[in-house]
Amino acid sequence: MRALLIFALALLPAYSVLADTPATAPTFGSKGYVWNKLSAERIEVLRKNADAVRGQEAFRGCRGCHKQDAFGRVDGTYPRLTGQYASVIIKQLTDIRAGVRLNPKMEPFISPDAVTVEEIADIAVFLANATTVKENGKGPGDQVRQGEIVYVQRGCNKCHGDHGEGNGEKLYPALSAQHYSYLLREMEMIRTGARGNSHPDMVAALRDISTSDMEALSDYLARLPDRRQVVAHK
Amino acid sequence: MTEYGHTTADSFQYRSPAHQKKSFLLITLAFLASVFVSFAVQAEDAPNAPNALCTGCHTEDGNSTTPEFPKLAGLDAAYIAKQIKDFKKDKRVSEIMGPMANQIPDKDIGFLADYFSKQKRTTGIVTDAKLAAQGQQIFDDGIVNSAVPACSGCHGEKGEGTDKFPRLAGQHTVYLITQMNNFKNSTRNNDARKVMRAITLRMTEQDMKAAAEYITSLKGE
């Protein structure tokens, strides 16, 4: 885990370089919004020597909602974070702290009072390596084929991969094995801009999507295996 | 000021409004213990047992029998030491415990913390099974609609606690509810990372009563 700095440097091209940090970071749709802005805090996080063991202890403060193995809730109220890329976790956590990703439920538990910069790095590597034996929340199961078609038609696979495995270097989250209801809810929030920190291409890709196609996509993605199983089979 | 909240630590000269009789009795009890102790204890040596300053309210095995006074038995030693130091520095404010803590020499804190941490916590009695069942839901799984995290996330699945998150199992319901309300109105603000203040702001009085009713039944193991 001590190699995080190198890992972080490898990620740098994925961010756009910033000149300065404004007092309040702009959200999606407002002037000056950059979806992957490399904020001062994020640079600080990426410079830390992250440690998964410390991360597990720091994650104790998150377990009240996200549960012991970062599995969240099958009903999708809280996402499955198990095995998500460290880079994605760091982006999302720092975005919530900066008020770019709008998440009032979580805000008090990820504020600088609650979690240090080092702990963000620690939690991120802990989550990236976490495992669970629990089954994620699934959809009805009759839309899987339709979901796969929509997934390719809308070009989701170009960023999120052929198996929903995402791309850590580019900060694209793994979607496979995520809870059905969470996928559906976040897609709706991205579509309307309410999530606050989305990639503009992502918002564009979902702008005119129907509810039934979002349901199909979620049905499909929730039944794909954890990204690490896909990589292992390659 | 609320039913539970006390904002000044140094107001030991008690001016008694009639409606605070109970508080008066508690303070008197605590005061008598402290007077007794200040006569009895002058020794320079490290203690080998807690004196009446502590045991007068918390009892010798740290399982207080007065529901307003917390059980200390089985709390992590580091947690106890932090609370005593916080009381001494007015980081945690209590009309009763503040003056008591000021009488504890710094050199004795380690011993006392260690002593009470090694005592076995007793379990409380559930008087309302339905309320306890609601409380178990909150303790194990949180409250989804108001985004209250499960207590077990930090305090452990059996309420056993850690050095940072206190053992809750078996604690008096009255004390638990008082502390939750103190966090809610920020009368108590020495919680780690402001988290308990944030959580209790999302809890109703009913939520707190239910959680406390369940927690008191836990054995912590």
List domains and CATH numbers for chain B: 18-117 (1.10.760.10), 129-215 (1.10.760.10)
Which residues of B are less than 8 Å from A73 in CB distance?
144
Beta bridge partners of B148: B143
Amino acid letter for position A69: D
pLDDT tens for each residue of A50-60: 999 999 999 99
Residue B38 predicted with pLDDT over 60: no
Among B53, B168, B56, CA closest to B121: B168
Label residue B12 by pLDDT band (50, 70, 90). very low
What is the reported pLDDT for B14? Answer: 36
Domains of chain A with CATH codes: 4-129 (1.10.760.10), 144-233 (1.10.760.10)
Residue A168 has pLDDT above 90, yes or no: yes
Q: Is the pLDDT of residue A86 over 90?
A: yes
Q: What is the pLDDT of residue A25?
A: 83
**Binning pLDDT at 50, 70 and 90, where does residue A169 land?**
very high
B chain contacts of residue A61, beta-carbon cutoff 8 Å: 153-154, 193, 195
Which of A63, A105, A108 is nearest residue B153 as measured by Cβ atoms? A63
Q: Are A221 and A147 in contact (CB under 8 A)?
A: yes
Give me chain A's average pLDDT, please.
Answer: 91
Tell me which of A57, A59, A60, A103 to substitute to probe the interface with B (most B C-beta atoms closer than 10 Å): A60
Q: Residue B31's pLDDT is what?
A: 66
Name which of A10-14, A49-53, A135-139 the model is least confident about. Answer: A10-14
Min distance A5 CA to chain B CA atoms (Å): 27
| pLDDT of res. A165 | 97
B217/A67 Cα distance (integer angstroms) = 23
Residues A203 and A219: beta-carbon distance below 8 Å: no
Contact B144, B179 (CB under 8 A): no
Question: Of the candidates A135, A100, A124, A129, which has an alpha carbon nearest to the alpha carbon of residue A24?
Answer: A100
ipTM, interface predicted TM-score of the complex: 0.87
**Bridge partners of residue B143, in order along the sequence:** B148
Q: B13 pLDDT band (50/70/90 cuts)? A: very low
Quote the CA–CA distance of B101 and B112 in Å, as a whole number: 12
Segment B50-104, tens digit of pLDDT: 999 999 999 999 999 999 999 999 999 999 999 999 999 999 999 999 999 999 9
Q: Place B7 in a pLDDT band, splitting at 50, 70 and 90.
A: very low
Q: Long-range CB contacts (< 8 A, 24+ apart) of A69-73?
A: A69/A130, A69/A131, A69/A132, A69/A134, A70/A127, A70/A130, A70/A132, A71/A132, A71/A134, A71/A136, A72/A179, A72/A182, A73/A137, A73/A179, A73/B144
Give the A:B interface size as CB pairs under 8 Å: 45
pLDDT bracket for residue A171 (50, 70, 90): very high
